[in-house]
């Protein structure tokens, strides 16, 4: 999710501005059913692990929590030595050949959630073949931008509007002129 002004989280990493409702939860469950592996940077991984294993998530977001807790996860980190969240492993660097191997062997999609620095690395190495950006109708004014560098031209594949005002944009990368 991203704010209208381009931030994926506030400066204090809060996500309470996300517009989440039943329609969004149905979309999220469907999207996660098509995923084979979740990819995270360390900060996003730690935030996700702390929420999706919590009693609140297991009670209130049972379906999504089921996917998040059972899917294989890779966390990219130089400082994290071990990952304790179920089905998680740590990779110290973005190894392009290893990511390409994982993609070729995967029966389902690899999906990178949040993780601005990791996203920049994947963009630089040409490892993103589709962007799915959920834009929330909110302006934060400041926060952590999802995209910090690495110019990239994109081609709109489709857009989906939600009753909450969220808009999901599907893009594919195209070559820079």
* Per-residue pLDDT at 16: 86
Fold of the domain spanning 2-174: Dihydrofolate Reductase, subunit A (3.40.430)
Sorting pLDDT into bands at 50, 70 and 90, what band is 65?
A: very high
**How far is residue 55 from each of residues 22, 58, 59, 71, 154, measured CA to CA in Å?**
19, 5, 6, 19, 39
Sorting pLDDT into bands at 50, 70 and 90, what band is 176?
A: low
> What residue segments make up the domains of the chain, in order of their start?
2-174
Is the whole-model pTM more than 0.75? Answer: yes
């Amino acid at each position: 999710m991203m704010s209208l002004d381009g931030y994926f989280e506030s400066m204090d990493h809060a996500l309470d501005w996300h517009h989440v409702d039943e329609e969004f939860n149905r979309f999220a469950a469907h999207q996660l059913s098509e995923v084979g592996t979740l990819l995270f940077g360390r900060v996003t991984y730690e935030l996700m692990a702390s929420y999706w294993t919590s009693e609140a998530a297991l009670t209130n977001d049972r379906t999504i929590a089921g996917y998040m807790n059972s899917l294989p996860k890779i966390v990219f980190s130089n400082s994290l030595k071990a990952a304790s969240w179920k089905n998680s492993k740590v990779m110290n660097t973005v190894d392009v050949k290893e990511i390409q191997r994982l993609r070729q062997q995967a029966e389902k999609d690899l999906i990178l959630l949040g993780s601005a620095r990791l996203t920049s690395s994947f963009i630089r190495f040409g490892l993103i073949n589709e962007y799915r950006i959920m834009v929330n109708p909110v302006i934060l004014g400041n926060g952590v931008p999802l995209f910090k560098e690495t110019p990239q031209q994109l081609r709109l594949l489709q857009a989906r509007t939600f009753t909450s005002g969220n808009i999901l944009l599907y893009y594919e990368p195209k070559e820079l002129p």
